[in-house]
Amino acid sequence: MKLRLLYTRDNVGNPVLSDIVLKTRVPINILEAKVSLNGGEIVVDVPATGKELDEIRQLFQKEGVSVKEIKSVIEIDYEKCISCGACVSPCPVQAIKQNPDWDAELDEGRCIRCLICVNACPVRAIKSP
Amino acid sequence: MTEQLGAETLRTYEEINERVKTGDAVVVTAEEFVAHVRDRGVETVAKEVDVVTTGTFGAMCSSGAFLNFGHSEPPIKMFKCWLNDVPAYKGLAAVDAYIGATAMSESKGFDYGGGHVIEDLVSRKEIELRAEAYGTDCYPRKAIETTIVLDDLNQAVLVNPRNAYEHYNAATNSTDRILYTYMGTLLPNYGNVTYSGAGQLSPLYKDKNFETIGIGTRIFLGGGIGYVIGEGTQHSPQNQFGTLMVRGDLKQMKPRYLRGATYYRYGTSLYVGVGIPIPITNLRVAKSAALPDDQIFTSILDYGVPSRSRPSVKKVSYADLKLGKVVINGRSVPTSPLSSFKYAKEIAETLKWWIKEGLFFLSRPAELLPNQKEFKPLEVRRHELRVKDIMTVKVTTAKPTHNIKTIASLIVRNGVDHIPIVDDDNKLVGIVTSWDLAKALAEGKNTLDKVMTTKVITARENESEDVVARRLSQHDISGMPVVDDENRVIGIVTTDDLAKLLRKWKE
């Protein structure tokens, strides 16, 4: 599950994420991070489900970090897609594959939101919502 | 096999068209033909099949359209002209223009180009037309701004100087940075391989001796009917680089098979759908049409080398490439196409259906295309500066055994910023800059091995000044040692050298 963690100016300096990793022993993977004057934002991949995931969300919220679920990481517009494959091999984690009909298929679980595919698409059929 | 073998006529164009008329023509796609031949042998299948249909759908930069706008009141002799802010070529009569696929919008740049204008025209979208003129006695108007749609135009003819390359090289990247090329996005350190063409569906592979394709060959072009009007530019058939020049009426075409495209940080282009019927006139043509993916080979070239002649990393077949991975230097590397196999197949199927339904007849070419043609490079006849012309030959170097203080005093004494570190054979092992020393002082580092950079960006003496300037700015560095084949330091080239050059040039 990919989550967007929103930090405030007050908690952005705290090692909230590291504390939670140490406490839960869940190897949370950081995909994106940015800090601004108003706080910060981290996009993470949490390899957990159900109760464990809920617990992690609560731990963040307890520290004043709001948690938003990222439902889709990138979107392929199949009306525009020409099934060429220009997005496939540039994906550094092989999250996009071509099926036997050469249509692009996204494995959301693997996607790390690097957005290389968004630029690689010659017909602008891939967007990050 | 001698040239004459297999040349015996199996069927004529007239016989084929007679069967198209009665609905009896046997038509298969190139993919189906390959499978039939594999099962039952080429001799048997060649006797049964009249026509093999091919298809390809890829970015074809040498594409564009001639447009005639008609005359306004009062009339204008357009001198410059833009369609949706994309400049069209106006070195023609008053209201004729050519919109090329790679021309880019003056406001949107890479995001919108001539290819997109053509797609929008075919989609029946309104296009902004703007033109300027100097005004003449017969054409008094000096400016015009209006909108056009495809059906307003007197003529809108797609004329593509080079389409449907027989053969394409595949691409990879040996450097340590991502490359954005006309072969798409190439990850560093041989991170991926991209390739073009439609393999066993590709039109020109299916008549590789150019026995049936020529001037006047009727084809599928952009969803409508088009014609081959000659050899394409850079036609080089003896090297499997045959190409076609084609034309077709834009008004008959479909936006599905003419798609504006952008290759990130490279430019705009147009995906063009081309399908060519191959009449199985003799056994030799049948053999060519039966060429399967595992016998169509290409080379994976290293696009990390910014040269006309890029080194080949590996030779592979389309069957290998289509598996989605190849092995380079012992590592499995993902491959993916840039042309659409899905659309290529769809085009071959559509053409097959047209012929079977009696909607499309084969045409005998008025003249065949040459099967030998020299492809000449462009010689640069002016003197161009190379690294050896601008580099400093007297290089201050140091040894790995030297301490930081010695190097600092070398920098001060000789007034330089870069000290290449060399071994006893003068071979490059690292580099230390004045900035590295300042940083070392700030961070309390005091041994050379902690301070020097060992992964050194270098130049060669025969590289052009352009390439080297680009490399310096890409790596955000101010100088590079120049090395020979043995990695021995023979000079150094710095931004100071380039600045001096610029000053001299301005004077």
Q: pLDDT by residue (tens digit) across B195-206?
A: 999 999 999 999
Residue of B336, B338, B345, B349 for testing the chain A interface, max A β-carbons within 10 Å: B336
- Helices B434-443, B404-414: crossing angle, 10 deg rounding: 140
CB B100, CB B114: distance < 8 Å? yes
Q: Do A83 and B343 touch (CB under 8 A)?
A: yes
B129 CA: distance to closest CA in chain A (Å): 24
Q: Do B341 and A83 touch (CB under 8 A)?
A: yes
Asked if residue B253 has pLDDT above 60, the reply is yes
Q: Where in chain B is the domain with CATH 3.10.580.10?
A: 387-506
Q: Do B324 and A98 touch (CB under 8 A)?
A: yes
Asked if residue B3 has pLDDT above 80, the reply is no
Q: Among the options B134, B137, B138, B380, which is catalytic?
A: B138
A113 CA: distance to closest CA in chain B (Å): 16
A105 CA: distance to closest CA in chain B (Å): 13
Least confident of B77-81, B223-227, B257-261, B483-487: B483-487
Q: Do A85 and B338 touch (CB under 8 A)?
A: yes
Report which of residues A96 and A108 the model is more confident about: A96
Express as a percent the part of chain A with pLDDT over 70.
Answer: 100
* Nearest chain A alpha carbon to B260: A123
SS3 B200: helix
| Long-range interactions of B478-484: CB distance < 8 A, separation 24+ | B478/B417, B478/B418, B478/B433, B479/B417, B479/B418, B479/B433, B480/B456, B481/B395, B481/B418, B481/B420, B481/B428, B481/B431, B481/B456, B482/B387, B482/B388, B482/B391, B482/B458, B483/B428, B483/B458, B483/B459, B484/B460
CB B144, CB B78: distance < 8 Å? yes
Residue B2 is predicted with a pLDDT of: 46
CB pairs under 8 A between A and B: 83
Q: Where are the beta strands (DSSP E) in B394-455?
A: 418-422, 428-433
- Calpha distance B51→B24 (Å, rounded): 12
Q: Do A92 and B191 touch (CB under 8 A)?
A: yes
CB B148, CB B135: distance < 8 Å? no
- Calpha distance B409→B74 (Å, rounded): 78
Asked if residue B282 has pLDDT above 70, the reply is yes
In the numeric block, which tokens belong to residue B454? 């060992």
Q: Which of residues 76-115 of B touch A (CB under 8 A)?
A: 111
**Which of B178, B324, B337 is closest, CB to CB, to A84?**
B337
Q: Tell whether omega for the bond before A90 is within 30 degrees of 0, i.e. cis.
A: no
| Long-range interactions of B409-414: CB distance < 8 A, separation 24+ | B411/B437
Residue B1 is predicted with a pLDDT of: 44
Q: Do A122 and B269 touch (CB under 8 A)?
A: yes
With contacts defined as CB-CB under 8 Å, which chain B residues touch A123?
Answer: 259-262, 271
Residue B497 is predicted with a pLDDT of: 86
**Which of A82, A83, A90 is closest, CB to CB, to B184?**
A90
Q: Which of residues 313-332 of B touch A (CB under 8 A)?
A: 324
Q: Do A90 and B259 touch (CB under 8 A)?
A: no
Q: Average pLDDT of A10-36?
A: 91
Tens digits of per-residue pLDDT, A32-89? 898 888 889 999 999 998 999 999 999 999 999 999 988 778 999 999 999 999 999 9
Q: Which of residues 30-49 of A touch B (CB under 8 A)?
A: none
Asked if residue B183 has pLDDT above 80, the reply is yes
Angle, CA B86 vertex, CA B82 and CA B92 arms, to 5°: 50
Q: Is B81 a catalytic residue?
A: no
Q: Do A90 and B338 touch (CB under 8 A)?
A: no
Report which of residues B1 and A2 the model is more confident about: A2
What count of other Cβ atoms lies within 10 Å of the Cβ of residue B211?
19
Q: Which of residues 266-295 of B touch A (CB under 8 A)?
A: 269, 271
A51 CA: distance to closest CA in chain B (Å): 37
Tens digits of per-residue pLDDT, B412-451? 999 899 999 999 999 999 999 999 988 888 888 888 888 8
Q: Do B342 and A122 touch (CB under 8 A)?
A: no
* Nearest chain B alpha carbon to A118: B264
**Which of A94, A102, A122 is closest, CB to CB, to B334?**
A94
Q: Average pLDDT of B132-147?
A: 97
Single-letter amino acid, residue B152? D
Tens digits of per-residue pLDDT, B306-359? 888 899 999 999 999 999 999 999 999 999 999 999 999 999 999 999 999 999
Q: Average pLDDT of B85-108?
A: 98
Residue B4 is predicted with a pLDDT of: 63
Asked if residue B505 has pLDDT above 80, the reply is no
Q: Which of residues 94-123 of A touch B (CB under 8 A)?
A: 94, 97-98, 101-103, 116, 119-120, 122-123
Domain B387-506 top-level CATH class: alpha beta
Tens digits of per-residue pLDDT, B46-56? 999 999 999 99
Asked if residue B140 has pLDDT above 90, the reply is yes
Q: Average pLDDT of B174-190?
A: 96
- Calpha distance B370→B237 (Å, rounded): 8
A86 CA: distance to closest CA in chain B (Å): 5
* Nearest chain B alpha carbon to A96: B336
Interface check for B342 against chain A (CB to CB < 8 A): the answer is: yes
Q: Average pLDDT of B75-81?
A: 98
Residue B403 is predicted with a pLDDT of: 87
For residues B250-284, one letter each, b for 16 or more C-beta atoms within 10 angstroms of the residue's C-beta and e for the rest, the string is: beebebbbbbbbbbbebbbbbbbbbbbbbbbbbbb
CB B112, CB B260: distance < 8 Å? yes
- Calpha distance B23→B357 (Å, rounded): 7
Express as a percent the part of chain B with pLDDT over 70.
Answer: 99
With contacts defined as CB-CB under 8 Å, which chain A residues touch B334?
Answer: 88-89, 91, 94
Residue B460 is predicted with a pLDDT of: 93
Residue B443 is predicted with a pLDDT of: 87
With contacts defined as CB-CB under 8 Å, which chain A residues touch B59?
Answer: 122
pTM of the shown model? 0.85
Which domains does chain A possess? 2-69 (3.30.70.260), 74-129 (3.30.70.20)
* Nearest chain B alpha carbon to A123: B261
Interface check for B192 against chain A (CB to CB < 8 A): the answer is: yes
- Calpha distance A39→A33 (Å, rounded): 11
For chain A, give the mean pLDDT.
92
Interface check for B56 against chain A (CB to CB < 8 A): the answer is: no
